[in-house]
Amino acid sequence: MLLAALLCWSSHVKAAPAREILSTRDCFAEFQSYGEWMGHLWKKYSILDYLLARWHFSESDFTRYRRELDCRSITYRSDQYVVRAWLVQPKNGRKSSKLPVIIYNRGGNRQFGTLNFGDLFTYVFPFAEQGYLVVASQYRGADLRQDAKSSPDQFGGGDVRDVTNLVRIASGLPRADPHNIFMIGQSRGAIMTFLALRDTPLPIRAVAIYSGLYDMHDLLRFRPAGEQLFEALIPDYHKHKKAELDRRSVTLWAERLPAQTGVLILHGGDDERAPLASARKLAGELGKIGRPHKIVVYSGESHYLGGVRPQVRAQTLQWFKKFQWRASRETVD
C-alpha cells in the first residue's frame, strides 16, 4: 500500500520513473519495544555505545515516536545506483492535509556519517513530530566497500543527484506539500545542499546549515589532511584540483543561488572540523548581494553542536516558518 502511495506524483513536479523506488520497510519492525532495541545494541555494539544510547534515548521517547510517527526505510534509484533513505512523517492529522517537506542532507563520506536508527531520534524524529515530512538520503555507495578507484561517493560530484532525485520523490508523495520544501545540510551536507540549489530548479523555500563546509580552499588550509580524502573521492582530483574545489565552494558563487531562498548558517565557535571563518565569509557574500540569510555562532560549541541541539532545532523551525508559503500570499513576511 505504501509503495503504491510512493508512486503517486503531484502535478506540480516532474514525475520520476516508477522503477526509481524499489522497496520500503517499517523502521520499527525490527524493534517492537524499547527493550528489544536496547538488547540489540547490547549484543552488537560496545558497552559505551549501549550506555550512551540509554542516556540519550528514553523509553518514553521510543514509545511516543513509535506511536506517533510513520517511519520507513526506503531504497530508490539514482542514476545506475540503488540508494537507501529514511522517510518519516506524522501519523496524525487529516489525510487530506499537506505536510511541509524537509530534505536532510547528512555529513560524512562513504559509510562514515550514515544515519542509523538511533540517529533518527536526534536528527529526524523531532522535526517529523513538529508536522514535517522528512526524507534523508544515505547517498550512493553507503553500503559498499570503496577505494580510490571504485568510490561512487564523490563528495559533491554525481552524488548530488541522490539529493535532487530524492526531492522529486518526496515532492510527489500524497501528503507532501510541493510548495513548501526545505533543506538541512550537516557538515558535508552543506555542499550537497548548495549544489542542488545551484544546479537544479527546485522549489526550495529555505535551508539551514549546521557546521557547514563552505569554502574548500579554506578547509584545506584549516585541515590539510583533507587532501587525502579528496584524492580518494573526487575523480581526477590532481588534474583539476582548483576547478573541483571551486565547484564545491559556495562562497565563490553565492550569486548563483536562488534569490528568494533563505539561508540559515549555524556554527560552533570552537568547530574543529569546519572553519568558522568560512561561515562568516558566506554570510558576508550573501549580505553583499542582498540575499536573505542569518548566521548564529554558538560560543564554545564543537563541530557537532552537541550542547545546543534544542536551540539549533528551534532556530531551524523558526527560520522555516518564516519562509513557508501559504496560499494567501506569494512572498515571505
Q: What is the pLDDT of residue 46?
A: 87
Cα distances from 98 to residues 156, 174, 223, 299, in angstroms, run: 31, 8, 43, 38
Reported as a single tens digit per residue, the pLDDT across 48-90 is 888 988 988 999 999 999 999 999 999 999 998 999 999 999 9
Residue stretches of the chain with pLDDT short of 70: 1-20, 93-96, 144-150, 327-333
Q: How many residues does the chain have?
A: 333
Reported as a single tens digit per residue, the pLDDT across 149-170 is 667 999 999 999 999 999 999 9
Q: What is the pLDDT of residue 141?
A: 87
What is the value of pTM for the model shown?
A: 0.90
**Dihedral pair phi/psi, residue 155, rounded to 5°:** 55, 45
Residues 6+ apart with CB under 8 A from 13: 168, 171, 172, 178
* C-alpha closest to that of 207 among 155, 156, 257: 257
Residue-wise burial string across 143-176, b where 16 or more C-beta atoms lie within 10 A, e elsewhere: eeebeeeebbbbbbbebbbbbbbbbbbbbbbebb
- Please give the CATH superfamily to which domain 2-323 belongs: Alpha/Beta hydrolase fold, catalytic domain (3.40.50.1820)
Q: What is the pLDDT of residue 326?
A: 79
Three-state secondary-structure class, residue 50: helix
* DSSP class of 271: -
24 - beta bridge partners?
Answer: 74
Cα distances from 2 to residues 6, 100, 173, in angstroms, run: 6, 19, 10
Task: Please identify which residue in the block is written with the cell numbers 571551486.
Answer: 246
Q: What is the pLDDT of residue 200?
A: 80
Cα distances from 21 to residues 110, 136, 166, in angstroms, run: 21, 14, 10
Domain limits, the chain = 2-323
d(CA 139, CA 141): 6
Three-state secondary-structure class, residue 265: strand
End-to-end C-alpha distance for the chain, whole angstroms: 39
CA 117 to chain centre: 15
* DSSP class of 109: B
CA 184 to chain centre: 5
- For 80: left if phi > 0, alpha if psi spans -120 to 50, otherwise beta; the answer is alpha
